[in-house]
């Protein structure tokens, strides 16, 4: 039987023809309709006024202050195959992006814009990984396949008290049948601006349903001297209580490094691309790990935590109280449990 589901993680299927059709939504074709791109007619104040229709008349949007903008509404079945976005970094923590699948009332993706693309701390950072790529100068790309059966809706909320000019975006997708076992993409942002002493940081909790965990991004602001990344990640699966089924051996180990890093790196599946150390500022770290070849599968529930742990001057492990933010990425069946309410913009701002 011919498979129409779009897979984005290899060249093995690129030569196979499909019955699905290709579409794309951007400011020049906001509905994604066939033959509906570049139709805007410029007025005398437009930068393309001397060129006319079809010549880059409406390449981007202005997001008005305190506004909610629907970027895409798509009737399914289909799969979002690629996302590209770029804008001013002041939007990275102040604008919230949300994805809704199949007319659900609660979003399956809800994160600050920058963090979804591994650009936390409201700072630009190049990412050279398989599902997420961030290229000069702030070009956000996602290749996570995002299937939907009835409908897809994507919104952006500008929570700043000023407008945001120059918001560029493109959503590439295919329309075609979706396999019965295809799950829905989810992403959730969390933050503790001071982790409680001797308490594990929670990356994800309250997940209900069947699915698989596929990635972690962490924006880590170090508030103590010395080495900060000794903590273990823990995956509590399907009824685990005090002890997890999967437990790591250290923060740098989980993100594929070793021995306190000492340098940055960005690879297809894991990376430590940001190490921002500057006189007079807290040291900031950015880390990602994609479970593409090793998804963490769960049948009914999932909780994920990370310890905030370093060394003290006596050479002993010592709990820290850093400022940690994270995005968890996973696929699951719907319906999903409602996400915790996001804190207001001032409580999301970096140190």
Q: Are the C-beta atoms of 85 and 114 separated by less than 8 Å?
A: no
- Sorting pLDDT into bands at 50, 70 and 90, what band is 16? confident
- Sorting pLDDT into bands at 50, 70 and 90, what band is 267? very high
Q: What is the pTM of this model?
A: 0.95
**Pairwise CA distance, residues 121 & 114, whole Å:** 8
What pLDDT was estimated at residue 7? 54
**Pairwise CA distance, residues 4 & 78, whole Å:** 9
In this predicted structure, the answer to whether residue 157 has a pLDDT above a threshold of 60 is yes
In this predicted structure, the answer to whether residue 30 has a pLDDT above a threshold of 60 is yes
Go through the chain and tell me how many residues it has. Answer: 351
Positions of CATH 2.60.120.1390 in the chain: 21-175, 184-339
CATH number for the 21-175 domain, one of 3.30.750.24, 3.60.15.10, 2.60.120.1390, 3.30.1370.10? 2.60.120.1390
What pLDDT was estimated at residue 115? 98
For residue 77, what are the contacts with CB-CB under 8 A and spacing of at least 6? 147, 148, 149, 150, 175, 176, 177, 178
In this predicted structure, the answer to whether residue 66 has a pLDDT above a threshold of 90 is yes
Q: Distance of alpha carbon 350 from its chain centroid, rounded? A: 17
What pLDDT was estimated at residue 1? 37
Q: Are the C-beta atoms of 174 and 23 separated by less than 8 Å?
A: yes
Q: Cα dihedral sign for 40, 41, 45, 50?
A: positive
Q: Are the C-beta atoms of 23 and 170 separated by less than 8 Å?
A: no
In this predicted structure, the answer to whether residue 35 has a pLDDT above a threshold of 70 is yes
In this predicted structure, the answer to whether residue 274 has a pLDDT above a threshold of 50 is yes
**Pairwise CA distance, residues 204 & 215, whole Å:** 11
In this predicted structure, the answer to whether residue 318 has a pLDDT above a threshold of 90 is yes
Percent pLDDT > 90 in the chain is 88
Q: Are the C-beta atoms of 306 and 235 separated by less than 8 Å?
A: no
Cα–Cα distances in Å, from 84 out to 115, 171, 172?
Answer: 14, 7, 9
Residue matched to tokens 């591994």 = 118
- Specify the DSSP class assigned to residue 229: B
In this predicted structure, the answer to whether residue 2 has a pLDDT above a threshold of 50 is no
Phi/psi for 115 (5° steps) reads: -65, -35
Question: Tens digits of per-residue pLDDT, 102-122?
Answer: 999 999 999 999 999 999 999
In this predicted structure, the answer to whether residue 333 has a pLDDT above a threshold of 50 is yes
User: What DSSP element (H or E) covers 254?
Assistant: helix 251-254
What pLDDT was estimated at residue 10? 66
Percent pLDDT > 70 in the chain is 97
What pLDDT was estimated at residue 14? 83
Overall average pLDDT of the 305-320 stretch: 94
In this predicted structure, the answer to whether residue 6 has a pLDDT above a threshold of 70 is no
Nearest C-alpha neighbor of 63 from the set 148, 184, 168: 168
Question: Tens digits of per-residue pLDDT, 172-229?
Answer: 999 999 999 999 999 999 999 999 999 999 999 999 999 999 999 999 999 999 999 9
In this predicted structure, the answer to whether residue 89 has a pLDDT above a threshold of 80 is yes
What pLDDT was estimated at residue 11? 74
Paired residues of 127 in beta bridges: 134
Paired residues of 207 in beta bridges: 302
Mean pLDDT of the chain: 95
- Sorting pLDDT into bands at 50, 70 and 90, what band is 250? very high
The bridge status of strand 184-192 relative to strand 109-112 is parallel
CATH number for the 184-339 domain, one of 2.60.120.1390, 3.10.620.30, 3.40.50.450, 3.30.70.100? 2.60.120.1390
Overall average pLDDT of the 72-88 stretch: 97
Phi/psi for 113 (5° steps) reads: -55, -50
């Amino acid at each position: 039987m011919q498979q129409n589901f779009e897979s984005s993680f290899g060249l093995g299927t690129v030569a196979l023809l499909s019955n699905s059709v290709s579409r794309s939504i951007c400011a020049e074709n906001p509905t994604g309709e066939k033959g509906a791109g570049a139709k805007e007619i410029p007025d005398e104040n437009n930068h393309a006024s001397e060129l006319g229709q079809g010549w880059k008349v409406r390449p981007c949007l202005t997001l008005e202050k305190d506004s909610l903008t629907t970027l895409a509404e798509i009737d399914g079945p289909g799969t979002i195959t690629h996302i590209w976005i770029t804008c001013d970094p002041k939007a990275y923590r102040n604008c919230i992006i949300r994805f809704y699948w199949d007319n659900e009332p609660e979003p399956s993706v809800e994160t600050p814009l920058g963090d979804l693309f591994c650009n936390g701390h409201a700072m630009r950072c190049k990412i050279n990984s398989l599902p997420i790529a961030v290229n000069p100068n702030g070009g956000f790309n996602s290749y996570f396949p995002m299937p939907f059966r009835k409908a897809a809706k994507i919104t952006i909320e500008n929570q700043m008290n000023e407008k945001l000019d120059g918001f560029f975006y493109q959503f590439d997708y295919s329309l075609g049948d979706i396999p019965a076992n295809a799950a829905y993409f989810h992403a959730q942002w969390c933050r503790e601006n001071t982790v409680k002493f001797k308490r594990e940081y929670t990356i994800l909790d309250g997940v209900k349903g069947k699915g698989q965990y596929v990635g972690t991004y962490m924006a880590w602001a170090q508030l103590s001297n010395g080495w900060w990344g000794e903590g273990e990640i823990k995956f509590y699966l399907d009824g685990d209580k005090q002890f997890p089924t999967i437990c790591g051996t250290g923060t740098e180990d989980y993100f594929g490094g070793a021995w306190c890093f000492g340098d940055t790196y960005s690879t297809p599946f894991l990376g430590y691309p940001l190490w921002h150390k500057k006189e007079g500022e807290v040291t900031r770290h950015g880390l990602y790990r994609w479970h593409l070849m090793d998804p963490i599968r769960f049948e009914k529930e999932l909780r994920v935590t990370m310890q905030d742990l370093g060394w003290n001057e006596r050479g002993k492990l010592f709990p820290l109280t850093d400022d940690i933010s994270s995005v968890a990425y996973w696929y699951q069946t719907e319906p999903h449990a409602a996400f915790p309410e996001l804190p207001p913009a001032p409580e999301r701002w970096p140190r």
